[in-house]
Amino acid sequence: MIDNFQGKTAVLTGAGSGFGRECARLGARWGMQLVLVDVQQDALDAAAAEAQAAGVPVLARRVDVSDAAQMQALADAVAERFGAPHFVFNNAGVATAGLLWEHGVQDWEWVLGVNLWGVIHGVRLFTPMMLAAARQDPAWRGHIVNTASMAGLLTPPNMGIYNVSKHAVVALTETLYQDLRLVTDQVSASVLCPYYVATGIG
């Protein structure tokens, strides 16, 4: 695990509000280099301004995390500006409610696109960068956190698509943790499963 955050790089999706915004504040307090990612430009601008006022380097990007090309461009920008990130927080999320059979294809594509594919893109793009950095420096440490939910462990009604997406994030992250253990002790992963918190997703 990372034991000194000063000068380390953190990539935070969903950084404009909720957990992402709070993690950005913590990162700024700890002197990290911050890559702030959100799809809402006004929220992103506010988060970036707050972090810059704290005196830390900031790279802010408006990105739809469900879009592979946009995420690739983000990863390229991070590599060019800061190199491999030490901390990746795949946190962006959306939700919809209702009975399962009443949802249309667009609902499924939207929620799974952000909640699951956003995490998939973050993992597939940043993990190789982190592993490469670890191979070059035995002292290098990195960690990936993926935001799931208690809905990734339970199955409450009227939350079917959200439940599916968050169960998938739990499975993805637990597998990622096991896969990383096969190849390194310098990069690890964990999953965040909060109960209801009054963030923008609510």
In 14-158, DSSP assigns E strands to: 33-38, 58-62, 87-90, 142-147
Q: What is the largest CA-CA distance in the chain?
A: 52
In whole angstroms, what separates CA 162 from the centre of its chain? 17
Please report, for residues 4, 62, 165, the alpha-carbon distance to residue 14 in angstroms, rounded to integers and kept in the order given. 24, 10, 16
Type of residue numbered 45: D
- The reply to whether 177 belongs to the active site is no
Catalytic residue among 162, 177, 195, 196: 162
Return d(Cα 163, Cα 154) in angstroms, integer: 8
Residue 197's Cβ-count burial label (10 Å; 0-12, 13-18, 19+) is exposed
Q: How many whole angstroms separate alpha carbon 184 and alpha carbon 169?
A: 22
End-to-end, the C-alpha distance of the chain in Å comes to 31
- Please state whether beta strands 142-147 and 87-90 pair in parallel, antiparallel, or not at all (unpaired): parallel
User: Which residues participate in catalysis according to the annotation?
Assistant: 162
